[in-house]
Amino acid sequence: MTPETTTPQEEARSLRLDPLPIQLTEADEDLPARIYQMDDQIRITQAELQRLQRTRENLMNRALEINVLEDDFCRIEFKERQTRILDPVKFREQFKEEYDLICEQQRKELIKKAERVGEVIPLGLADKLAGKDAVTAICDIRIERTPYVVRKEP
């Protein structure tokens, strides 16, 4: 008798349908409560981070407003970023052939887009024009489940 061979995909499917038994430890018994505590701590920390960011922004604005850019311990420096802004009229005057090539390329891209008009309908616009309930009636509905923990009432 020869042993049966399975592919990794078949093995994974088998484990999804009939998972191996899991041995729970004492530490596993209060997992939902521990997750809830972490959620609460994250909420508190995020609120504190927002408060600190607002305070920092206010301090920076004040320092710049009154031009206090240096003290005994620190100084405020500036990063500069240069942005180029191309004037289409000047470009066309100096580079007529290149300008024409660019325009032709843009026309081709617009034609390709125009050929696909109607393939994807913006849901917000459809709701606005036809009514959300009517549009929902003809939509495919996808449900995504995201687990979260709630505290049980005593």
| pLDDT number for residue 4 | 67
Reduced to 3 states, what is the DSSP secondary structure of residue 75? Answer: strand
pTM of the model: 0.54
Last residue of a domain, one of 70, 99, 131: 70
Whether residue 47 lies inside any domain: the answer is: yes
Does the pLDDT value for residue 136 go beyond 50?
Answer: yes
Whether residue 66 lies inside any domain: the answer is: yes
| pLDDT number for residue 1 | 47
Give per-residue pLDDT as tens, 81-130.
Answer: 999 999 999 999 999 999 999 999 999 999 999 999 999 999 999 999 99
Q: How far apart (Å, rounded) are the C-alpha atoms in residues 127 and 142? A: 17
Whether residue 49 lies inside any domain: the answer is: yes
| pLDDT number for residue 23 | 77
| More confident of the two residues 150 and 142 | 142
Reduced to 3 states, what is the DSSP secondary structure of residue 108? Answer: helix
Give per-residue pLDDT as tens, 6-56.
Answer: 787 887 777 777 777 777 787 788 899 999 999 999 999 999 999 999 999
Q: What are the distances in angstroms from CA 75 to CA 2, 67, 70, 127, 143?
A: 77, 11, 4, 53, 52
Last residue of a domain, one of 38, 70, 102: 70
| More confident of the two residues 147 and 90 | 90
| pLDDT number for residue 13 | 77
Q: Are residues 38 and 66 in the same domain?
A: yes
For residues 149 and 36, is the Cβ–Cβ distance under 8 A? Answer: yes
Does the pLDDT value for residue 2 go beyond 60?
Answer: no
| pLDDT number for residue 26 | 77
| pLDDT number for residue 95 | 97
Q: How many residues does the chain have?
A: 154
Q: How far apart (Å, rounded) are the C-alpha atoms in residues 117 and 113? A: 7
Reduced to 3 states, what is the DSSP secondary structure of residue 6? Answer: coil
Q: How far apart (Å, rounded) are the C-alpha atoms in residues 41 and 142? A: 31
Chain centroid, CA 92 distance in Å:
39
Domain count, the chain: 2
Q: Please give the residue range of the domain that contains residue 39.
A: 29-70
